[in-house]
């Protein structure tokens, strides 16, 4: 599924989501320019101008992001440069050249208060007022606002707990740690849901083709904790690993973490007209691939 006769530009093409996008479009024979971080420094306005002017895309898929959550607390300037300033410049160019900007944001724009688990059992809807609890979330929220202020044609897609075949993520970290030791402790009081990059790209393309604009949430169906997520990983892999559930306080970090991180994906199901698969089923497919 694709937009006919369109030219695509992908930023952050070496990351989990960017590589998934690049491979999907290349396999379909699309006209795509994929720029990794080494090939395009999105914080350099001149490089951005050259990349957009040189490829003359109809659609920009912005997968470039500063995602080191804890490091963002001390490296805030760099996080802002990538997540805010670069996004502002991209949006400005998209508005000027009538380019559709597809931008990925995060569940971390929301406060994730424990009481929201009972107040919002289906997760945060797109309309819920963001109120990030850490620097990473704040920079992603500011980036979203720059897009809206630019008046460019855009689609902002918020995801959570991203897991792809390319690059590091929770699944790969758990499998690596299990090979190094036979006893692991995993946080059991942070709730959310994984987003797998293969389905994320598929759903994103359906949203683009359906002319969806504005903001939408994208994740798998269901809810879990990091601990239960880990349990399921090892169960599916047939690995005998001793797992202990621990509270967030057992793993002190520089950045605060939301306790309730589920995204309400009912709009996604309505717009795409497809059944969103449970995270357990998506995980099984992911591990097979």
Active site residues: 136
Contact 216, 156 (CB under 8 A): yes
Task: Give the up-direction half-sphere exposure of residue 36: CA atoms within 13 A in the CB hemisphere.
Answer: 7
257 C-beta neighbours (distance < 10 Å), count? 20
Residue 2: alpha-carbon gap to chain centroid: 20
CA distance 149 to 175: 42
53 C-beta neighbours (distance < 10 Å), count? 10
> What residues contact residue 288 under an 8 Å CB cut-off, 6+ apart?
none
Strand 224-225 vs strand 191-192: parallel, antiparallel, or unpaired?
Answer: antiparallel
Angle between helices 226-237 and 170-180 (to 10 degrees): 60
Look-up of token digits 């720029």: 35
Closest to 52 (Cα-Cα) out of 104, 105, 103, 11: 11
Contact 31, 9 (CB under 8 A): no
């Amino acid at each position: 599924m694709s937009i006919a006769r369109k030219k695509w530009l992908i930023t952050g093409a070496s990351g989990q989501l960017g590589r998934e996008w690049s491979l999907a479009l290349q396999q379909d024979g699309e006209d795509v320019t994929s720029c990794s971080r080494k090939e395009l420094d999105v914080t350099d306005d001149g490089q951005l101008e050259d990349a957009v002017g040189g490829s003359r895309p109809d659609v920009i898929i912005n997968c470039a992001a500063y995602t080191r959550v804890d490091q963002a607390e001390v490296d805030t300037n760099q996080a802002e440069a990538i997540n805010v300033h670069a996004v502002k410049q991209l949006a400005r160019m998209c508005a000027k050249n009538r380019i559709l900007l597809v931008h990925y944001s995060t569940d971390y724009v929301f406060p994730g208060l424990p009481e929201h688990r009972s107040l919002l059992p289906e997760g945060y809807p797109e309309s819920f007022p963001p109120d990030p609890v850490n620097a990473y979330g704040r920079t992603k929220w500011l980036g979203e606002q720059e897009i809206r202020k630019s008046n460019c044609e855009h689609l902002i897609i918020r995801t959570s707990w991203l897991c792809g075949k390319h690059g590091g993520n929770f699944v790969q970290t758990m499998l690596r740690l299990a090979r190094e030791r036979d006893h692991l402790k995993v946080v059991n009081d942070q709730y959310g849901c994984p987003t797998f990059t293969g389905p994320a790209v598929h759903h994103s393309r359906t949203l683009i083709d359906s002319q969806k604009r504005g903001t939408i949430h994208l994740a798998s169906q269901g809810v879990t904790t990091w601990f239960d997520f880990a349990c399921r990983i090892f169960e599916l892999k047939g690995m005998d690993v001793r797992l202990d559930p621990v509270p967030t306080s057992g793993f002190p970090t520089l950045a605060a973490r939301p306790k309730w991180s589920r995204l309400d994906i009912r709009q996604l199901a309505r717009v795409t007209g497809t059944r969103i698969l449970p995270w357990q089923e998506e995980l099984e497919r992911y591990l097979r691939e």
